Chains A and B, each alone.
Chain A
Amino acid sequence: MASLESALIPILAKYRGDPTALLQILREAQEALDWISPETEILVASALQIPLTQVKSVTQFYAHLYDHNRGKYRILFSDNITDRMAGSVALFERMQAHFGVEPGQTSADGLVSIDLTPCTGLCDHGAAMLVNSIAIGRLDAERIDEIAALVKARKPLAKWPAELFAIDDNIHREVTLTGIPYVPGSGLDAAIRLGRAGMFDEIKRAALRGRGGAGFPTATKIEGARNAPGVQKYIVCNADEGEPGTFKDRVLLTSFSTRVLEGMAIAAYAAGAAKGFIYLRSEYQYLRAKLQREIEEMRASGRLGVSIRGAPGFDFDVEIHMGAGAYICGEGTAQIESLEGKPGRPRVKPPSMVIRGYKGMPTIVDNVETLAHLTEIALEGGASFARRGTRASTGTKLLSVSGDCERPGVYEYEFGVTIGRVLHDCGAVAPIAVQVGGASGVLITPDEFSRKIAFEDVSTAGAFMIFGPDRDIFEVARNFAHFFAHESCGFCTPCRVGTTVQKNLMDKIAEGRGSRYEVNDLMRLTDFMRRTSHCGLGESAGNAVRDTWLKFRPAFERRLVPHDFAPQVDLDAALEPTRLATHRDDAAAHIPAEG
C-alpha cells in the first residue's frame, strides 16, 4: 500500500482542492488505499479546508465508501429479489465458507470482506456481485469457487479472466431507439439546422416525458432552465439507475452512449447550457472508462467542446461524476447535493432545480433514456415522434424484464403496450404477479395484465420483475422493506424511523410471531409514511407491503398467529443463552408457549 500522502496528494491536486469534489476525492482515495482511514479523513479535511464532520458525513453516507478496513477485496453480493430467486443466498454462504467470515466482517488477514448490496442492475444476468465496485454476473457455485481462488491467490482484479466481467446487452425487442442505427453527429447537425428555438419547439411538439418514472414534461424543464437567470446552466444525465429491477440505462450507456451524450448536447443547446454531468452509479464503474473514451473522441471530432459542429456559440462539455452506493441519489435534488460533494439528501422544494440547482444555478436533471430520445426528436421532428405511443405517453419505452421468464433482458415497446403482451414476448409461464416500477412501484396481478405501460396507466422507469407460480410474494415485499430501511437518507422522521419499523414488523411476521395487530400497524404506518415523508423514497417505501396485503393476502395470512397480539420478545428463545450457560434443557428450563 502506498503511503498516505503519496497516494492522496495527486488526487487532491487533480481536483485542485475543490471541496465540491469531496465525493470523487474520497472514492479515488479508497481505490488507492482500500479504505478511508481517520488519517485520510483528517488529511482530506485539512487540504480542502472543510470541517472534518463534512468529510465524515460523506464517508458514512455512501454505502460503498468504507471508514473501516474492509480488505483488499471487497465483495458485495447483489441482494435484489431477482438475485435471491437466482440462488444468491446459497452462493453468498458458499463464498463466506471459503473465507470463514461473517457478513460485513473483514478476514483476519485483511484480505477480504463479503457483504450484501442492493440491486446492481444485472437482473438479466442471474445472481450478481461487485468486487471493488466492478460487476460480475451469472454467478454459480463454480464461479464462486473460481473467484475465491483468485482472491486467495491475491491476483490483482485487472488480471482476472475477462470473461468473468462479460456483461451482455440482452436486447430482445427493438423499435426505434435501439432499432435504428445512429450516425454520430447526425442528431447534433439536425438540432443546429433547427436552431435553439426550433429544437425546443420540436421537443415540445414531441410531448416527451421523463423516462425516470415521474413523467415530467421534458420541454417544461428545458423552458424553465432556459428562462431562469444564471451565468451557467447545467444538464445532468441521471445514470444512477438504482431502482431494484431496472437495468435498461446500463444497456443504453453500453451500446447507445452516442445517443445519450449527443442527447445531452441537444438538451444543452435548447436550454442554453454549456456544461453537463453524467452521474454514474457506483455499480456501473465498469462503464466509466468506456464513457470517458467516448467523451474524449467527441471532443476530438468537434461533437463536444467549443462551437460544436461549427455552430457558433454551441459550447458544451461533459464530465463524469461517480456515485458511491446510495439509491436516494437518483432523486434529482439529492443527486445535485451529491454532485456538489455532499451526502445525497433531497432538498426542500421549491425552489425547483431548474431555477436553483447545481451550485445554485439552473439545472436540468434528466434520465439517460429521456436524453437518448432527444436524438430521435432532432432527426425526425416532434410530430413524427409523437405518433408513436399513446396521446399522453409518446414514443417508445425500454423495459428491463427479469425474474421468471425465458428471455430476461431489455425490450423496447411503444407506450401503451399491455403487460400481458410483454409477458408473452419474454416467455413468462403462468406468472402470478409482476412488480412494475421496481421496489417503489406497483404489484400487478393476473386480473390486471390487460393494463397498459403508460404514464396514464401503469407508470414505470422500466423495471418489470416477473414472479412465477412458486414464488412467495410476501418475501418479495419483505426484501423491498429491507431495501428501503437500508436506503432511507435519514433526513425526515417518518422515513428514517418508519422504514426500519416496517422492516422489523415484516421480520416479526416472517418469524411467525406476527398477528393482525402487526398488519394493522403496517397499513397505518405505510399510509402515514406516504403522507408525511419529505421525498418520493419515503412516500413509496410502503407500496410493496401494502400491495401485497391487498392483493396477496394469503401470503401474509398463512404466517399470522391467530391471537390478537404476539409479544415482541419470545421469552423461551430469550432463555436460550442461559440454558447453554447452565447446561440445562429440561422442562423447567423452558417457558411453554401460551395458547
Chain B
Amino acid sequence: MTELLFNIDDLPVPFKPGQTILEAAKAAGVFVPHLCHHPRLKPHGGCKLCTVVVNGRTQSACTYKVAAGQEVDIDTPELNAMRRSLVQLLFIEGNHFCPTCEKTGACELQALGYEYEMLSPHFAEFYPADREVDASHPDVLIDRNRCIMCERCVRASRDIDGKNVFGIAGRGGKATLAINSPTGKLADSDFAVTDSAAHICPVGAILVKRNGFATPIGERAYDAHPISDSVNVCEIAEEAK
C-alpha cells in the first residue's frame, strides 16, 4: 500500500485517513501552536493559534482533516505574525502579570509570546475589573484574570471527569468562566483536585494550591526549552507539574 502524503511547508509528510492537520503534523514531529486544543479532548477550534493555510485558504489545523496532496503552510512569517497578534489579543483581554504568576515558565500563553517574539502587548490593554478570583476550594484556586476562554477545563470536566463543573457564560467580551454550583463558588461544586480539569489549564487560571514554587523559576518547562522544541506541548506542561 502506498503511503498517503500531504505537504507541510513544501515537504512531504505522511498521514493516516481521518487525521486532522494538527494530529498529522504532530505525528511527523512538526510543531503547530495551539492553546485550546488538547490531545485528550475533542477538537474545539476557538483559540485560532493553529491557523494554517491549506491550498491558499486559512483553516484551523486542529479541526481540519488532511487530504492527500494538500499543500499546508504552517511556519511562515505571515502566519507567525498573525499568531503574535493573537497572543497579544489574549494578553490585553485579561490581566496577565507574568512575574507574579505561579504559572510563569510553564505557561503556554507566555511560551507562545516568547515563541512569536512578542515584545509588547501592542494593543491598549482592557484591564478588566470584573474578573473574579475564587479561592473558596480547599485545594484549587481559580483566577479568572488569567482565563483565555479556551474551554479546556469545561471540556475536561464534562468529557473526561463526567462532572460538568465549568461552563462559559456571557457573550463576546463579557464571556466568563462559570462554575456549576448554587453559589457559583468552586467549593460548593463537586470539583476535586484529582479531576483532570484541575490540571489542564494552559495558563494560570486554575492552579493547585500549596504547590507554589515547587519547581524554581528558571527550571520550568519552557524556561529550559522553547515551546516549539516539543510537539507534545500539553503533556510536557503536565509532567512539569
Name A's B-contacting residues (CB within 8 A). Answer: 38, 42, 51-54, 56-57, 59-63, 326, 343, 348, 485-494, 496-501, 504, 521, 524-525, 528, 531-534, 568
Contact = CB atoms under 8 A, between A and B. Distances in A.
A485 B90 CA distance: 16
Interface string B66-93: 0000000000000000100110011011
A51 B173 contact: no
A454 to B, nearest CB: 24
Given A53-B166, A497-B92, A521-B123, A485 B172 contact: yes
B164 interface: yes
Contacts of A486: 172
Nearest to A45: B180
A492 B46 contact: yes
A487 B126 CA distance: 18
B43 A348 contact: yes
Contact of A493 (B48, B123, B124, B180): B48
B145 interface: no
A491 B46 contact: yes
B214 to A, nearest CB: 31
Contact of A42 (B48, B166, B182): B182
Contacts of A498: 89
B175 interface: yes
B193 interface: no
A492 B60 CA distance: 11
Given A490-B172, A500-B173, A532-B48, A53 B89 contact: no
Contacts of A491: 46
14 contacts: A38-B182, A53-B167, A61-B170, A348-B45, A489-B171, A490-B168, A493-B47, A494-B48, A496-B149, A497-B89, A497-B93, A501-B124, A532-B48, A533-B48
B63 A496 contact: no
Interface string B170-207: 11111100111110000000000000000000000000
B65 to A, nearest CB: 8
Most buried by B among A62, A326, A504: A504
Nearest to B124: A568
Interface in B7-58: 43, 45-49, 51, 58
Nearest to B85: A528
Contacts of B89: 493-494, 497-498, 501
Contacts of B45: 348, 492, 534
Q: Which 7 pairs from chain A and chain B are nearest by CB?
A: A53-B167, A488-B172, A490-B175, A497-B89, A51-B164, A56-B169, A60-B169
Nearest to A527: B82
Interface residues of B, number: 38
A62 B171 CA distance: 8
Query: Interface on chain A toward B: helix, strand, loop, or mixed SS?
Result: helix
B43 A485 contact: no
B164 A53 contact: yes
Nearest to A534: B45
Contacts of A326: 171
A490 B149 contact: yes
Given A56-B178, A62-B171, A528-B85, 4 more contacts: A53-B180, A60-B174, A493-B149, A532-B58
Contact of A52 (B48, B90, B181): B181
Nearest to B172: A488
Contacts of A38: 182
A497 B49 CA distance: 14
Nearest to A498: B89
Contacts of A531: 51, 58, 82
Nearest to B158: A51
Contacts of A63: 171
B160 to A, nearest CB: 16
B172 A487 contact: yes
Nearest to A61: B171
A493 B167 contact: no
B172 A52 contact: no
Contact of B167 (A56, A488, A490, A534): A56
A489 B169 CA distance: 11
Contacts of A61: 169-171
Nearest to A496: B172
Given A60-B169, A496-B175, A534 B46 contact: yes
B180 A51 contact: yes
Given A60-B170, A491-B46, A531-B58, A53 B82 contact: no
Contacts of A52: 180-182
Given A57-B167, A500-B126, A504-B124, A493 B46 contact: yes
Nearest to B65: A350
Contacts of B182: 38, 42, 52
Contacts of B46: 491-493, 534
Given A42-B182, A52-B180, A497 B173 contact: yes
